A and B are shown apart, each in its own frame.
Chain A
Amino acid sequence: MRYKNFLSLLEQYRWEKVSAKIANVKPDTLDKLLKKENFSVGDLPILLSQTASARLPELEKKASRITTQYFGKARFLYAPLYITNRCINRCVYCGFNKNNKIERKRLSSKEISKDADYLYNQGFRHILIVSGEDPIVMKSDYLIDTIALLHKKFPSISIEVQPLTENLYRKAVAAGCDGLSLYQETYNKKVYKIVHIGGPKRDFRWRIEGPERAAKAGIKKINFGVLLGLADFRTDIFFAALHAAFIRKRFWKTQIGFSFPRIRPFVGSYQPTVEVKDRDLLQIILALRLVFPQAFLVLSTRERAGFRDKLLQIAATNTSAGSKTNPGGYSDDSTTGQFDISDNRTPAEVVRAIRAAGLYPVWKDWDIGLAG
C-alpha cells in the first residue's frame, strides 16, 4: 500500500505490539531467517531480538561480508563543526538544554572559518554542521551563509540542526549542503513528550516529517537515528529503519544512513532509563547492515576507541575523529561540550588505526560538482 506520508504508515503500528513481537522470537524462527541471503525491514524484529543476541558471531560474519561487497575496504571520515550552542529547547538529556547554565556562544563567520581551516589542515573534506535550536537559523540566513562559506573549501557539507522548512532545505541544497542528520530521538510518542519538556522540539510531527521535506528539497543523503537509552532500543531502531525504508522507496534518489548516539555524560543530571551495552550497539549495527547493505552506518566519538575500531572493521562505514562538541572548540576549547568525548585520539591517530585494520581511510568522497 502507498501511504501518503511516513506518519500515516507509523500509525499502522502499535509500539507495544512491536516490542512484544521482538521479545517473543523463537530460536526456530531465527534459524530459518539466518538461512536467507537477503533481508528486509520485516525481518528486523527477529534480527534485533534478545534471541538473536545469542547469535552475534553469525550475524557478524554475514554483515562483514556484505559491507566488504558494497564498500570494499573504504571507510569515510568526517568532522562535526558546532556553530552555536544557543538553544530554546529543554531536552532533559542534553547539555545545551536551555535551563543549563553554560556559556552560550554563536560563532561569527570569522570564527567559523578559523575552525574550518583547522579541520581542513587536518585533512577533513566532509563537514557536519551542528547547532542547538538557535532561533537565528529560522529567522535569518545564518545557516545558509555558513553552508556557502564552508562549501568554498569543503566538497561535502551535512547539517545536524533543528528540522527546517522545505524552503530552507532547498536553500541549504543550493548553498552546497548534500547531507542531513535528523534523529527522531525516539519513535515512542509518550517518551518523546516526557523527555522534551519545553520548546518547539515538543512537536513530534514537525520533526518526524523533516526527512520528507528534506528529500523533497533535494538533500541527497539522510541519516536516521534514535538516542539510545531513552526507550526500548530494539523497538526504537525498528521504527527508525521503517522510516528510512519509507524515504528510500518514496524518494528513490536519496541515500540513507544511520547514526547510533548513546546517551553520554553531560552537564545536567539525566540518567538513561534503558541501558544500551556495547554488545547491544553491535547487534543494532549488524542488524541494520543485513537489512540495508548499502546504507552508511555512522559512528561518532561518543564511543571508545577500541570499540569504534572494531565496528569499523565489521560494518560501520563513516567515522568522525578528533571531534569537539563546543562551538569554536577547535580553536579555543574553553566552553562546555554537548557531551563528553570517549575517543580522544587525533584524526591522524584514528587514520593510523583504520590503516592498521587493513582499511582505506577516505577523506574526500564527494565533489563540488555534485552539490547545489
Chain B
Amino acid sequence: MLQIAGRKFSSRLIVGTGKFSSNSVMKEAINASGSEIVTVALRRVDLDNTQEDIIEAIDFSRIQILPNTSGAQNASEAIKIANIGRNMGLGNWVKLEVTPDPWYLLPDPIDTLKATEKLAKDGFAVLVYMNADPVLAKRLEDAGAEAVMPLASPIGSARGMKTKEMIRIIIENSNLPVVVDAGLGSPSDAGYAMEMGADAVLVNTAIATSDNPVKMAKAFKLAVEAGRTGYEAGIIASKEHAYASSPEKGII
C-alpha cells in the first residue's frame, strides 16, 4: 500500500483538477480513476462562491485533498498560500509548487528547498514538486519533505518519461515516496513509471483534456495497477538486442 505522511492509500494514482470542462465531468473522472488523493490549486479555491467551487465537488470522506501552491513564484508566496489553505480548513497537506517561470512552470530548486524547510517546521506534510534532480531529492528529504514529486517532462507537455534516468536514481536512493508528476501523456507513460518502481503518479492534463476524461481516467487507473503489479512481480531485465525466438538456423 502507498503510505504518505502516515496515511495509507490503496490507489497509486493522484489526479489534478485544473483543466476539466466542468465539475460534474471532474467528479466522474475522479471516481473512475479510483484516486484517493486529489490536488487542487489554492488560487482557484473560493469559499465565497459555492456554485463554482472545485472544493464542493470533492468527496472529503473518501479523498485526501492535496492543496497546491501553483502560481507561487518564490518561497514566501508559497508559504503564504499554504497557510491560507490551512486556515481555510483544508488540512495540513500541501503540494509545494514554486514556479518562477510562467512559461514552462519549471520548479525553482532553491526556493523550493527553502519553502520545504519552513513548511515542514510549521507542521505541514509537504509533498514537493521538483525537477528530476537526485541530489535535490535528498536535500528535500533532509529538509523534512513527506514525498518528492519529480517531473517526467514539462507540465502539460504530454511528452512522457523524458527524465527517466534521473528518476531511476531518485527512486533508488529515496527513503520517501516518489510520485512521478507532470508530463505523463498516456496510460503507458504512467505504467512505465510504475514499472520503474515509482510509488505513485500524478496525472492532470492527460485525463482532463482528453476527448473522454472519464474513460481516460479509467485507462490510467488500469495502467498504474498493471505497472505496479509488474514491478512487484519483478520485471525481467530488458534485452539490449532483440533475439528471434525461433532461430533461423537449420531452416534452409
Contacts and interface: CB of A to CB of B under 8 A. Distances in A.
Contacts of B52: 123, 361-363
Contacts of A366: 43, 71
Interface string A361-372: 111111111100
A331 B24 CA distance: 35
B22 A253 contact: no
Interface string A199-242: 00000000000000000000010000000000000000000000
Contacts of A363: 46, 49, 52
Contact of B20 (A72, A248, A253): A72
Contacts of A367: 42-43, 71, 81, 84
A365 B101 contact: no
The main secondary structure of chain B at its interface with chain A is loop
Contacts of B72: 369-370
A360 to B, nearest CB: 6
Contact of A294 (B42, B71, B103): B103
A125 B42 CA distance: 14
A368 B101 contact: no
Interface string B21-32: 110000000000
Contacts of B22: 73, 355, 358, 360
Interface string B155-168: 01110000000000
Contacts of B19: 71-74, 360
A332 B158 CA distance: 50
Contact of B80 (A71, A220, A365, A369): A369
A155 to B, nearest CB: 8
Interface residues of A, number: 31
A363 B53 CA distance: 10
B250 interface: no
Determine which residue in A155, A255, A359, A364 has the highest number of CB atoms from chain B within 10 A of its CB, and name it.
A364
B43 A370 contact: yes
A55 B21 CA distance: 28
Contacts of A253: 73, 100-102
Contacts of A362: 44, 52
B225 interface: no
Nearest to A69: B156
A355 B71 CA distance: 24
A69 B102 contact: no
A73 B208 contact: yes
A40 interface: no
B77 interface: yes
A33 B202 CA distance: 35
Given A366-B71, A368-B84, A70 B156 contact: yes
A252 interface: yes
Given A73-B21, A369-B84, A364 B44 contact: yes
A68 interface: yes
A372 to B, nearest CB: 10
A240 to B, nearest CB: 18
A370 B44 CA distance: 12
A359 B102 contact: no
A252 to B, nearest CB: 6
B174 interface: no
5 contacts: A69-B205, A253-B101, A362-B44, A370-B80, A370-B81
Given A362-B44, A370-B43, 15 more contacts: A71-B19, A72-B204, A72-B205, A74-B19, A123-B49, A248-B103, A252-B101, A358-B22, A360-B19, A360-B21, A364-B45, A366-B71, A369-B81, A369-B84, A370-B81
Interface of B: 18-22, 42-46, 49, 52, 71-73, 77, 80-81, 83-84, 100-103, 156-158, 204-205, 208-209
Interface of A: 68-74, 123, 125, 155, 220, 248, 252-255, 294, 355, 358-370
